[in-house]
Amino acid sequence: MRNLLFSTALLFGSSVAAFAETVEVEMLNENDAGDRMVFGQELIRAEVGDVIRFVPTDRSHNAQSVKDALPEGQEAFKGKTNNEVEYLVTETGLTAVVCLPHQSMGMVALIVVGNDVSNAQQVLDARIPGKGKDKIAALVAEAQATLP
């Protein structure tokens, strides 16, 4: 019985790891459309087990979660300026992400995990200054409107 449980755990763990993805998101001074201080992908869809890697392609950017704007049980993260940071997705729901130096200019992103938008109001109520607040609201609305 013990070997059967161990084998099942190995099989389950292996299948989760086999299907996990790494999503790379660039941190940019300007995108192809001419938008300044942006994440290369602003509405990020992921599943539990995925890793979101934020990559600074231009200087003076970081990526970090917003306090009180992530699913219950999900660990917060904060990358250092000019460094890559990886975010392991462990819970379904929405996570707001900002570049701290440029959040008031609208450099924000929203991670949607498992098509779960149940914490949308929590994300909308989070403290995000300037244009970042409006952009997060637009991203939440887009996430809700595009659910399968």
Residue 42, helix vs strand vs coil: coil
- Work out the angle at residue 45's Cα, subtended by the Cα atoms of residues 132 and 14, and round it to the nearest 5 degrees: 140
Q: CA 5 to CA 25: how far, in whole Å? A: 38
Q: Report pTM.
A: 0.86
Q: Within a domain: residue 13?
A: no
pLDDT value for 1: 40
**Residue 122 falls within a domain, yes or no?**
yes
Domain that holds residue 107: 20-145
**Average pLDDT for consecutive 10-residue bins of the chain (148 residues)?**
36 52 96 94 97 95 97 97 97 98 96 97 96 97 92
Give the pLDDT score at 20: 82
- Give the model's pLDDT for residue 131: 96
Task: Tell whether 14 is covered by a domain.
Answer: no
Number of domains in the chain: 1
Q: 91 lies in a domain?
A: yes
- Say what the pLDDT of residue 72 is: 95
Residues in CB range of 95: below 8 A, 6 or more apart: 65, 66, 69, 70, 71, 74, 87, 110, 111, 113, 123
pLDDT of residue 147: 86
DSSP 50-108: -EEEEEESSSS---EEPTT-S-TTPPP-BPPTTS-EEEE--SSEEEEEE-GGGGGGT-E
Two structure tokens written together for 83: 């460094």
Residue 67 is part of a domain; what is its CATH number?
2.60.40.420
Give the per-residue pLDDT at 12.
43
Quote the CA–CA distance of 60 and 54 in Å, as a whole number: 13
Asked if residue 36 lies in contact with residue 29, where contact means CB atoms within 8 angstroms, the answer is yes
Does residue 5 fall inside a structural domain?
no
- Does 7 reside within a domain? no
User: Quick one: pLDDT at residue 18?
Assistant: 53
Does the residue 102 lie in any domain?
Answer: yes
Q: Using an 8 Å Cβ cutoff, are 117 and 144 in contact?
A: yes
**36 in a domain, yes or no?**
yes
